[in-house]
């Protein structure tokens, strides 16, 4: 994993439930079909199904502030990741005897740690609405690196998104030039054919 390909997003509330000797953390790390403005450079929306492959294949830890030792992990069975009608749902039963859990649970109950974020890289994306003030990036499939309980959601993947936007613009410009060249070629051929017909006795 290279850090320059990793982006972070999120703004979803996390819910803490006391269940006997365990603490259950439930929330959504991402929401489908809701536009978010990323760094005032572009809009972004996540489509349903964007996490399907990641849930099945990626090794995803539950972290705090995207760092430190994991509180849970999908590959060990201590973190459940699912897609529902809302988005990417997470649920984890935290071990109350874990010192890391004991440190953060009071902060979560008070609301000091109350939101979620996810770290990802785009696998399949699409750009639209170049004529709008801010173009729209549509995420169809992502790779997941972690889901995280956070104080303030991180929107620190702007550079990666901008590189993707610039690549899309370059491809659009190349397509436009190719179309113009082909149209000009057709016009020249039609003109030549017309001139030949006019010259025939």
Give me the half-sphere count of Cα atoms (radius 13 Å) on the Cβ side of residue 157: 26
pLDDT recorded at residue 89: 92
Per-residue pLDDT for 191 more than 70? no
Backbone region of residue 37 per phi and psi (left: phi > 0; alpha: psi in -120 to 50; beta: other values): beta
Domain boundaries, the chain: 3-157
Match 């939101």 to its residue by tokens: 115
- Which pairs from 102-109 meet CB under 8 Å and 24+ separation? 104/64, 104/71, 104/149, 105/16, 105/23, 108/14, 108/16, 108/25, 108/149, 109/16
Res 44 pLDDT > 60: yes
Q: How confident is the model at residue 117 (pLDDT cuts 50, 70, 90)?
A: confident
Over range 139-159, report the average pLDDT: 78
Amino acid 63: pLDDT: 93
Task: Determine contact, residues 127/168, Cβ cutoff 8 Å.
Answer: yes
Q: What is the pLDDT of residue 59?
A: 97
The better pLDDT of the pair 168, 83 is held by: 83
Region 22-47: what's the mean pLDDT?
A: 87
Residue 55 has pLDDT above 80, yes or no: yes
Q: What pLDDT sits at residue 4?
A: 44
What's the rounded Cα separation, in Å, for the pair 47 and 32? 5
**Range of weakest confidence among 24-33, 56-65, 151-160, 167-176:** 151-160
pTM of the model: 0.74
For the segment 102-128, the average pLDDT, to the nearest whole number, is 88
Q: Is 2 helix (H, G, I), strand (E, B) or coil?
A: coil
Both structure tokens of 189: 């051929």
Percent of the chain at pLDDT > 90 equals 34
């Amino acid at each position: 994993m290279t850090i320059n390909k990793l982006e972070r997003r999120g703004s979803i509330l996390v819910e803490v439930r006391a269940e006997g000797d365990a603490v259950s953390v439930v929330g959504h790390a991402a929401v489908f079909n809701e536009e978010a403005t990323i760094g005032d450079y572009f809009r972004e929306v996540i489509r349903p199904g964007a996490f399907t492959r990641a849930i099945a294949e990626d090794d995803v830890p539950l972290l705090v502030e995207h760092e430190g030792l994991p509180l849970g992990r999908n590959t060990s069975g201590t973190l459940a990741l699912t897609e529902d009608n809302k988005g990417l749902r997470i649920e984890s039963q935290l071990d109350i005897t874990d010192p890391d859990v004991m440190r953060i649970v009071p902060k979560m109950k008070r609301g000091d740690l109350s939101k979620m974020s996810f770290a990802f890289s785009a696998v399949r994306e699409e750009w639209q609405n170049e004529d709008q003030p801010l173009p729209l990036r549509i995420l169809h499939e992502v790779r997941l690196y972690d889901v995280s309980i956070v104080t303030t959601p991180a929107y620190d993947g702007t550079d990666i998104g901008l590189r993707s936007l610039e690549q899309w613009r370059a491809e659009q410009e190349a397509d436009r030039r190719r179309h113009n060249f082909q149209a000009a070629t057709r016009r020249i051929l039609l003109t030549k054919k017309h001139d030949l017909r006019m010259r025939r006795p």
